[in-house]
Chains A and B, each alone.
Chain A
Amino acid sequence: MSEKFDITNIAKLASISLSDDEKQKLSSDLSVILDHVQALSNLELDTNIEDVYIHPLEKELVLDQDVEKPSLTHDEALSNAPKASDGKFIVPPSLE
Chain B
Amino acid sequence: MDLLNLSIRELNNLFVNKKAKPSELYSEVFDRSASSEAALHAHLSLFEETNLKKAKNSDQRFSNSENVGLLDGIPLAIKDNINIKNEKTTCSSKMLSNFISPYNATVISKLDTEQAIYTGKTNLDEFAMGSSTENSAFGLTRNPWNTDYVPGGSSGGSAASVASRSSIAALGSDTGGSIRQPASFCGLVGFKPTYGTVSRYGLIAFASSLDQIGPISKSVDDARIIYSAISGHDSLDSTSINDEQIDMPFDKNATIGIVKELMEDGISEESKKEVDKVINILKQKGFNIKEVSLPLIKLSISIYYLIAPAECSANLARFDGVRYGLRVDGKTSYEMMENTRAEGFGDEVKRRILLGTYALSAGYYDEYYGKALRARKKMVDEFSSIFKECDYLISPTTPTEAFKAGEKTSNPLEMYMSDLCTIPANLAGLPAISIPTGLSSSNLPLGVQIMSKPLTDNSLLNFSEMLEKELDFNRTPEGWSK
Contacts and interface: CB of A to CB of B under 8 A. Distances in A.
Interface of A: 5, 7, 10-11, 13-18, 22, 26, 29-30, 32-34, 36-41, 43, 45, 47-49, 51-59, 61-65, 72, 76-77, 79-83, 89, 91-96
B127 interface: no
A91 B333 contact: yes
A65 to B, nearest CB: 8
A36 B377 contact: no
Interface of B: 98-100, 102-103, 194-196, 208-210, 235-236, 238-241, 299, 301-303, 305-306, 313, 317, 320-327, 329-339, 341-342, 345, 350-351, 353-355, 357-358, 361, 366-368, 370-378, 380, 412-413, 416, 426-429, 454
Given A49-B370, A55-B209, A94-B334, A30 B355 contact: yes
A39 B368 CA distance: 11
Contacts of A96: 331-332
Contacts of A38: 302
A14 B313 contact: yes
A40 B303 contact: yes
24 contacts: A5-B358, A10-B357, A10-B361, A15-B320, A15-B337, A16-B345, A16-B350, A16-B354, A29-B412, A30-B355, A30-B358, A36-B413, A38-B302, A45-B371, A45-B378, A52-B376, A56-B376, A62-B238, A63-B238, A72-B103, A80-B98, A82-B321, A96-B331, A96-B332
Contacts of A91: 322, 333, 336
Contacts of A94: 332-334
Contacts of B322: 81-82, 89, 91
A59 B196 contact: yes
A51 B377 contact: yes
B425 to A, nearest CB: 10
B112 to A, nearest CB: 17
A40 B302 contact: yes
Nearest to A91: B333
A43 B102 contact: no
A17 B317 CA distance: 14
B334 A15 contact: yes
Contacts of A72: 102-103
Given A61-B239, A72-B102, 12 more contacts: A16-B342, A30-B351, A32-B412, A37-B368, A39-B299, A39-B302, A40-B303, A40-B372, A62-B238, A81-B323, A82-B326, A92-B332
Nearest to B383: A56
Nearest to B342: A17
A10, A33, A52, A63 interface centre (most CB from chain B within 10 Å): A33
Contacts of A22: 350
Contact of B354 (A17, A26, A80): A26
B329 A92 contact: yes
Given A80-B324, A89-B322, A57 B333 contact: no
